[in-house]
Structure 1
Amino acid sequence: MTATTFFEISGPDAGRLRAFYRGALGLPVGDPDPSGYALVPPDGGIGGAIWDGTATAGSYAVFYVQVDDVDAAVDRVTAGGGAVVLAPRPHGPARIAHVSDPAGNRVGLFQWTGQPPG
């Protein structure tokens, strides 16, 4: 399966980001879990999350493409002229990576490795 199914927004002041996206754009951002990860339900679109991931991946707003195999997708990205921004790694019940396209735009890749939420 390949589909755009999730987005994620990261920055050093996740509380301010949550307030911004709630107030300015009306996103139904939930309260953060103990790790600081606040889910945004799909509500007719794709779901996502807001958190402070700056320690591992920096500040970003990225959409995720669900793939069957993150490592194989990363290989295809680099063969196609893209680059690895964040190497494949575990992330909750998923395995993720961030890559860039040939223009330098960041894109997230993920595959379920555990039980998907919900």
Structure 2
Amino acid sequence: MSAPAFDTIAWFEVAGDDADALQRFYGELFGWRFAVDQEQAADGTDYRIVSYAGDDRPLGGVRGVDDGATGYAVFTVAVRDVEKACATIEDLGGKVEHKVVGSDASPDCAYVRDSAGNLFGIFTPKAK
């Protein structure tokens, strides 16, 4: 299995009470593109399918929740530079919860929160 491409993840779902703000946050941070899931929209669900810049494959989704549900996110993104990504996250209204400088055996990584308060991880893969 090859290493993940930078600024990508395998699959995910992020939910919050302001799907437009989440779309803006992730679109500006990683260059992700969004399309309304027409099937779910027909059922009244605000779900946006995510694809990465230069790739049309659907790889995740953003869900608007307006029923009092708690926002959530569970995923990890490979980035070129954890320190730079942390600075951008804070500039976009997010928060760095815990940052770790890696070693020979482990990568630089951080747990961060997006503009809606959802927790996710970032890391820089070790060079082979």
TM-score norm. by structure 1 comes to 0.45
Write 1 or 2 for the structure with the bigger share of strand: 1
Determine which structure has more spread, i.e. the larger CA radius of gyration. 2
